[in-house]
């Protein structure tokens, strides 16, 4: 395959997520994350010749890549903003890999982050900001609750078709929390969680409980993608990009082909085919977890269990870092918080830590291959990666 | 393409009629109304009245609403409805006991007034 292995992730950084966004600015967070990732890659800022940025939170998106490049005083041969919602971070890494494999760039910086203001998403203006014209005209009059209701529709349909239970979905959050207890960066790492506690938390949009929903926060994360042949002596163990895939079937979930079969299937298939591996070869997974149902649908559609059997699979499989299929060993967004678009980058970064053997107390034993998935909107845009350690 | 398709749709709703865009070339209805048929991208589509019969594809009960116009009505049912014509749309299920509500429930068209607009919503078909 033309691309497989020609690009590597050689630098990562993740700022501690912050519950309180007051006084923070996205550009400052991005600069800090950029400095740390470039250091981690053993590069100088002047080496960076490609810039991929996820959209801003409070700033205007107009000319955002140039705004970021100006602040950082980086002068890239290629720069762009990737807007795929929650899949933007993986989307940045995918595009960086294309740029370095094509010989356009040698070292691409992928940046994501944002500042959480409490009003975002929850009031009418916040909701409207993430709705298309069609959604505003033909959905908002019926009172959708943004992403919450979209994923609730998917969860309800999955329960109806396959008998999936609230307990099975809750276990995903519980297993991820068991790993989060060993992640000092996680917002929620103080105590273990039980299925009973998840189900006792308020039902926000039936059948989704509060503890199955990400907590937005502020933060930033960065990744350096290097042309493999241009990075022979990186300070960190190299992580190769072996496969990638993307897919999209809808913007609003109302117009998705279905609620229980998602574009994740196609995106994952493409990534596995490029890497020439199967789901059974994968040692650990980092799956976008805005809600528990997202993880369950990803496990099914990416082929880690048959369609419809996700409930039984998560019930009978230890998903923690000690388990048979370690999933979101940093705790996922459900335990770490969702630092705007950097939430999706956290999945890439945790996979890299594991593949490098740098995950500390939560290190997975076998760590040769990882599958990463980014998901945007309500099961809309999908970006997948297969990563390989040395 | 029919002019002012958005206005036409709302105008029909205000008269208590649900109309759908229909592409004679593709022989398919589609939703939402838009200038070009989403299947063939041609403009020559027509309006057709909907039967008003359909099924609940999925639903969610909103227990906490951030929207003022729903404060009094919460909890309420936000649902995806599959119409007989082969289109799916977002709506509400009204006058339905919670124990009856489930995906695939047959429903029929009815109307509510909300924020000065008449909106197509759905209610269980009698005998279910």
Q: Tell me the three-class secondary structure of A258-280, residue by residue.
A: CCCCCCHHHHHHHHHHHHCCCHH
List all residues 6 or more positions away from A11 whose beta carbon is below 8 Å from its beta carbon: A37, A38, A39, A40, A41, A42, A43, A222, A223, A224, A226, A236
DSSP 3-state assignment of A77?
coil
How far apart, in whole angstroms, are the C-alpha atoms of residue B118 and residue B128?
A: 26
Task: Indicate the pLDDT class of residue A41, thresholds 50, 70 and 90.
Answer: very high
The H or E element spanning position A244 is strand A239-247
Q: Is B4 on the interface with A (CB under 8 A)?
A: no
Measure CB to CB from residue B78 to each of A134, A149, A154 and give the nearest one.
A149
Q: What pLDDT does residue A3 have?
A: 83
Cα angle A25, A26, A32; round to 5: 95
Q: What pLDDT does residue B58 have?
A: 98
Mutate to test the interface with B, among A136, A138, A143, A251 (most CBs of B within 10 A): A143
Q: What pLDDT does residue A126 have?
A: 76
A-chain CB neighbours of B68 within 8 Å are 124
Tens-place pLDDT, residues A184-231: 999 999 999 999 999 999 999 999 999 999 999 999 999 999 999 887
List all residues 6 or more positions away from A337 whose beta carbon is below 8 Å from its beta carbon: A17, A19, A186, A187, A188, A214, A215, A216, A217, A219, A343
- CA distances (Å), A133 to each of A138, A160, A386, B8, B32, in order? 9, 31, 35, 17, 11
Q: Do B89 and A157 touch (CB under 8 A)?
A: no
B-chain CB neighbours of A149 within 8 Å are 60, 62, 78
% of chain A residues with pLDDT over 90: 90
Q: How many CB pairs under 8 A join A and B?
A: 90
Q: What pLDDT does residue A390 have?
A: 82
How far apart, in whole angstroms, are the C-alpha atoms of residue B89 and residue B107?
A: 13
ipTM over 0.90: yes
Query: To the nearest whole number, what is the mean pLDDT of chain A?
Result: 95
Q: Which residues pair with A51 in a beta bridge?
A: A79, A109
Q: Do B121 and A142 touch (CB under 8 A)?
A: yes
Q: Catalytic residue among A107, A151, A288, A291, which?
A: A288
Task: Indicate the pLDDT class of residue A5, thresholds 50, 70 and 90.
Answer: confident
Res A315 pLDDT > 60: yes
A-chain CB neighbours of B82 within 8 Å are none
Measure CB to CB from residue B57 to each of A137, A157, A206 and give the nearest one.
A157
Tens-place pLDDT, residues A331-381: 999 999 999 999 999 999 999 999 999 999 999 998 899 999 999 999 999
Q: What pLDDT does residue A118 have?
A: 61
Q: Cis ω on the peptide bond leading into residue A50 (within 30° of 0)?
A: no
Res A232 pLDDT > 80: no
Q: Do B67 and A141 touch (CB under 8 A)?
A: no
Q: What pLDDT does residue A1 have?
A: 53
B-chain CB neighbours of A137 within 8 Å are 6, 32
How far apart, in whole angstroms, are the C-alpha atoms of residue A42 and residue A234?
A: 6
- CA-based nearest distance B36→chain A, Å: 14
Work out the average pLDDT over A91-114.
Answer: 97
Q: For chain B, list residues with pLDDT below 50.
A: none
A-chain CB neighbours of B34 within 8 Å are 134
B-chain CB neighbours of A254 within 8 Å are 80, 88-90
How far apart, in whole angstroms, are the C-alpha atoms of residue A65 and residue A51?
A: 7
Residue matched to tokens 């048929």? B37
Tens-place pLDDT, residues A320-342: 999 999 999 999 999 999 999 99
How far apart, in whole angstroms, are the C-alpha atoms of residue B67 and residue B56?
A: 23
Number of Cβ within 10 Å of residue A351's Cβ equals: 30
- CA-based nearest distance B40→chain A, Å: 17
Predicted structure pTM score: 0.96
Q: What pLDDT does residue A270 have?
A: 98
Cα distance from N-terminal residue to C-terminal residue, chain B:
40
Judge whether A162 counts as a catalytic residue: no
Which range (A79-88, A161-170, A288-297, B71-80) has the least confidence?
A: B71-80
Measure CB to CB from residue B92 to each of A142, A160, A208 and give the nearest one.
A142
A-chain CB neighbours of B92 within 8 Å are 142-143
Kindly identify which residue of chain A lies nearest to residue B31, measuring between CA atoms. Answer: A255
Task: Indicate the pLDDT class of residue A122, thresholds 50, 70 and 90.
Answer: low
How far apart, in whole angstroms, are the C-alpha atoms of residue B18 and residue B116?
A: 17
Res A163 pLDDT > 90: yes
How far apart, in whole angstroms, are the C-alpha atoms of residue B59 and residue A291?
A: 17
Kindly identify which residue of chain B lies nearest to residue A160, measuring between CA atoms. Answer: B103
Which two tokens mark A53? 């940025």
Please check whether residue A11 is in contact with residue A37, taking contact to mean a CB–CB distance below 8 angstroms. yes
> Pairing state of beta strands A50-53 and A78-81?
parallel
- CA-based nearest distance A51→chain B, Å: 35
Task: Indicate the pLDDT class of residue A245, thresholds 50, 70 and 90.
Answer: very high
Judge whether A288 counts as a catalytic residue: yes
Measure CB to CB from residue A141 to each of B63, B66, B119 and give the nearest one.
B119
- CA-based nearest distance A207→chain B, Å: 7
Q: Is B112 on the interface with A (CB under 8 A)?
A: no
Q: What pLDDT does residue A129 have?
A: 82
List all residues 6 or more positions away from A118 whose beta carbon is below 8 Å from its beta carbon: none
Which two tokens mark B66? 């951030």
Work out the average pLDDT over A2-11.
Answer: 90
Measured in whole angstroms, the distance separating CA A147 from the mean position of its chain's CA atoms is 16
- CA-based nearest distance A130→chain B, Å: 15
């Amino acid at each position: 395959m033309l691309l497989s292995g020609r690009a590597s992730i050689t630098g990562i950084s993740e700022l501690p997520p912050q519950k309180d966004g007051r006084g923070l600015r996205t550009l400052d967070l991005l600069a800090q994350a950029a400095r740390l990732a470039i250091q981690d890659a053993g590069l100088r800022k002047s080496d960076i010749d490609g810039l991929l940025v996820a959209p801003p939170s409070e700033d205007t998106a107009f000319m955002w890549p140039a705004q970021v490049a100006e602040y950082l005083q980086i002068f890239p041969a290629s720069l762009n903003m990737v807007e795929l919602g929650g899949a933007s971070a993986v989307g940045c890494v995918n595009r960086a890999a294309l740029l370095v494999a094509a010989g356009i760039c040698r070292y691409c910086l992928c940046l994501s982050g944002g500042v959480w203001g409490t009003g975002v998403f929850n009031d009418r203006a916040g909701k409207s900001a993430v709705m298309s014209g069609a959604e505003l005209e033909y959905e908002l009059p019926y009172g959708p609750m943004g992403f919450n209701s979209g994923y609730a529709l998917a969860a309800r349909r999955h329960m109806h078709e396959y008998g999936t239970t609230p307990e099975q979905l809750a276990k995903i959050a519980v297993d991820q929390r068991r790993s989060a207890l060993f992640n000092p960066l996680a917002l929620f790492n103080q105590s273990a969680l039980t299925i009973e506690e998840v189900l006792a938390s308020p039902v926000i949009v039936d059948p989704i409980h509060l503890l199955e929903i990400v907590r937005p926060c502020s933060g930033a994360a960065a990744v350096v993608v290097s042309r493999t042949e241009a990075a022979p002596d990186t300070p960190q163990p190299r992580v190769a990009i072996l496969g990638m895939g993307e897919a999209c079937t809808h913007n609003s979930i109302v117009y998705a082909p279905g609620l229980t079969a998602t574009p994740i299937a196609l995106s994952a298939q493409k990534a596995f085919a490029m890497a020439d591996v199967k789901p059974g070869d994968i040692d650990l997974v980092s799956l976008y977890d805005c809600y528990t149902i997202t993880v369950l649908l990803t496990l099914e559609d990416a082929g880690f269990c048959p369609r419809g059997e996700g409930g039984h699979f998560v019930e009978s499989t230890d998903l923690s870092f000690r388990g048979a299929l370690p999933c979101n060993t940093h705790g996922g967004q459900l335990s770490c918080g969702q630092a705007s678009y950097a939430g999706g980058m956290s999945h890439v970064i945790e996979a890299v830590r594991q593949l490098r053997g740098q995950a500390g107390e939560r290190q997975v034993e076998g760590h040769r291959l990882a599958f990463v998935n980014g998901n945007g909107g309500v099961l809309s845009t999908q970006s997948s990666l297969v990563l390989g350690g040395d | 393409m029919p002019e002012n398709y958005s206005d036409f749709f709302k105008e029909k709703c205000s008269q208590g009629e649900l109309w759908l865009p229909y592409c004679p070339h593709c022989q398919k209805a589609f939703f939402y109304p838009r200038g070009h048929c989403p299947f063939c991208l041609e403009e020559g589509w027509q309006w057709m009245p909907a039967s008003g019969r359909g099924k609940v594809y999925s639903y969610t009960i909103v227990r906490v609403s951030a929207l003022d116009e729903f404060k009094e009505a919460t909890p309420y049912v936000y649902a995806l409805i599959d119409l007989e014509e082969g289109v799916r749309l977002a709506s509400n299920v009204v006058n339905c006991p919670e124990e009856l509500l489930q995906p695939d429930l047959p429903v029929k068209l009815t109307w509510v007034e909300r924020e000065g607009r008449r909106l197509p919503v759905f209610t269980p078909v009698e005998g279910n």
